[in-house]
Amino acid sequence: MPCDPPRFGAPILRFGRFSPLLIAMAITLGCQGDKLSVDEGIVVKGKLFKGGQPLGAAVRSSDQGPPIPGMEAIAPFQVSLVPEGGQEGHARGAYAGKVADDGSVAFSGPGKGIPPGIYRLVVVGTNTMPDAEGASADPFRGKFTLDKTPFRFTITVAHVGKEFDLGTIDLDRPPSP
């Protein structure tokens, strides 16, 4: 029974005319780095106020009672941008905002920002326990949940790679319908 003669050379060299193409593709894909795994997005910023005061200061001044020991660092509210058709509290698609003491807020998604789209600004209190009289401890009284918030923003493709400014928003002065 005859045997096939041994083949010499690296397997990639057997493809002769395709070798340069394969090498070029490997180099091109290898040099993409973060471009393949991180989408460019839009960094969204603005200022949030309540009654003319920065949001954090306004909410803390309206809190009832002393803070629970060990819980002082937990914000009394959550701020997020939720895409139209999204679900509040749903991990996918909602972008949490970080609010500073001066009321400035910044939203960013994975990578370099959030994708373009139509978003609703949702602001909810984190303390859902009723007070002594049975009233809600939510400093916003449910006015800015996903289904009730009057704040809606359209962020276009033209903003990709840039910042989008929400402007100054006073929760006590919602936009006219």
What is the mean pLDDT of the segment spanning 163-176?
90
Cβ atoms 100, 107 nearer than 8 A: no
pLDDT tens readout for residues 157-168: 999 989 999 999
Residue in the structure block whose two tokens are 């803390």: 60
Q: Report residue 22's pLDDT band, with 50, 70 and 90 as the boundaries.
A: very low
The residues spanned by each domain of the chain are 38-170
Cβ atoms 114, 41 nearer than 8 A: yes
CATH ID of 38-170, from 2.40.50.1020, 2.60.40.1120, 3.90.550.10, 3.90.1150.10: 2.60.40.1120
How far apart (Å, rounded) are the C-alpha atoms in residues 55 and 61?
10
Determine the pLDDT at residue 155: 93
Query: What sign does the dihedral 87-93-98-104 (CA atoms) show?
Result: negative
